[in-house]
Structure 1
């Protein structure tokens, strides 16, 4: 790097650009909010550094020399580049062709993505969405490297370099084929049933979560502990005959067998709309499953990422309870077990 560049004060270029535009020391000072004497002093310093008069005072104003005319377009472009580098980036969803990558389970795909796609169609018709399984082992690494923009799921703990925002909470219900006509489910009825459940991420510990690289993720997609408490000491218990790695096959399995299934309430409601399934309340209370969006701290200040998280919040509005007396939905509180939850700045 030349000695001249090392000595250069960027404010001198700002003054040069203003005088070139205004052709007046007075107006240039007004434009950049400095005094007329400060502009004159800056020009004197720049003339000494460059070795050229740069501007000559005439009856029609400050006229640039040949050297100044040569410098002007280059300095203007350089100044614009500096401004772009230090200003917050802007994001226009209407014209953007960006492709966002989101890690999700089939549960989230079913209950969230349809509404998300509807929003994208309205607000960002050229934005593309790539969905990846949240079951990948290197999810943390993928988020760290920016290969995945956000992950949506149920987390029990997150590393300090990540942030999370709650989206919605839900409890468990029972689903069965409509022809079974189970009616109201009691403990005795439940004890006679053969069930299917879903466990992701390779199973889980006693609390239904697995942890890898500091990220705790929900593994069992139903409240097993609540079920076990409900039948503690009972001679007869429901049989958990089938454990699946995803929800995809459940509708077909429930149609062709005596199976029933315990699933999250929003998923049951979606499945019942398009399949001959009925939804039943369980005869015991289940803990809420908290679903949140997770992202890396490295994306702070990325306007596109902020917008994406906002879209996810809007897309899950119908899954959150409405505040009494208001029209806007309220965010559910964050999971109690999370060590660190932070909303967007």
Structure 2
């Protein structure tokens, strides 16, 4: 006879386990804080479901049937595993072997990635870090899907989303080292004559649009002649021609010279982008996820708290 687990009240399995452990209906009722009649009724329901007496009376105690004895080890093991899973055991970072997924733009991967990796190696030595681009929030699903644990970027909105302000990142306009306008103080008119490479990491919510809004507020028309999905792609293009692009200042200062670009002297549209840590309610109270968020926060901010 095939029995579907969904057809069984799981409390009945706890009743059977306790009766088999105590070898007494009365002691089982005391342990489970219910009446003896409730235990007897539970056993009766199980007998009907399983087609077996399960236990028979012997004096003041009970004797398990062969079927009950066969079930006893599986019941004990399953209930113990469930207890361990539900028990709020202290989180032990050195023994954590989980894989954490962080979604962050390539600028953050270059500037904060090494610091985050160093902290992972020091504080979560057995864990794994998977870093994906912002576009992965589209291809893998949003933070509620379970594919991404933490996102660093522009603050989002949505059901169950937690957002923690992280830092304000200044942006700068950069060009190749030998650009004709390098070393000159640019006027609004000169800025309006430049041709730009825009960075659009996620369609419909792009860094390009944020920068464009800053230009618009300054009254300067921004001529975007090329759009790329990453900051490093924008740098690669700008380093080889007279196009310009806007980068986070930390990337321009930390790797710009090495990658072949330098900041232009422009009165605007330097502005700040507010970045946040974003995660879903599903991991909000999880000890490992909370530890990982602290580790990433410290890595980005470059401090121990």
Q: Provide the TM-score with structure 2 as the length reference.
A: 0.64
Alignment of 1:1-345 (within 5 A): 8-32=8-32, 34-35=33-34, 37-38=36-37, 40-42=39-41, 45=44, 49=48, 50-52=51-53, 54-57=55-58, 62-77=62-77, 79=79, 94-135=94-135, 139-143=137-141, 146=145, 148-149=147-148, 152=151, 154-155=153-154, 160=158, 163=161, 165-166=163-164, 167-173=166-172, 188=187, 191=190, 198-201=197-200, 210-211=203-204, 217-220=205-208, 223-227=211-215, 229-230=217-218, 245=228, 246-248=230-232, 262-271=246-255, 283-284=267-268, 286-293=270-277, 300=282, 307-308=288-289, 311-312=292-293, 314-317=295-298
- Alpha-carbon distance between aligned partners in 2 of 1:29 and 1:51, rounded to the nearest angstrom: 21
Structure 2 unaligned runs (5+)?
none
How many residue pairs get aligned? The number is 298
Secondary structure of the 2:130 match is: strand
Partners of 1:174 and 1:260 within 8 A in 2: yes
Higher helix share: 2
SS at match of 1:268: helix
Cα 1:198/1:56, change in 2 over 3 Å: farther
Structure 1: which 5+ runs fail to align? 203-208, 212-216, 329-345
CA, structure 1 residues 135+37, in 2 after alignment: closer, same or farther (shift >3 Å)? closer
CA RMSD of aligned residues (A): 5.3
- When residues 177 and 310 of structure 1 are mapped into structure 2, their CA distance, relative to the original with a 3 A threshold, is farther
Cα distance in 2 between the residues matched to 1:63 and 1:7: 26
TM-score of the aligned structures, taking structure 1 as reference length = 0.58
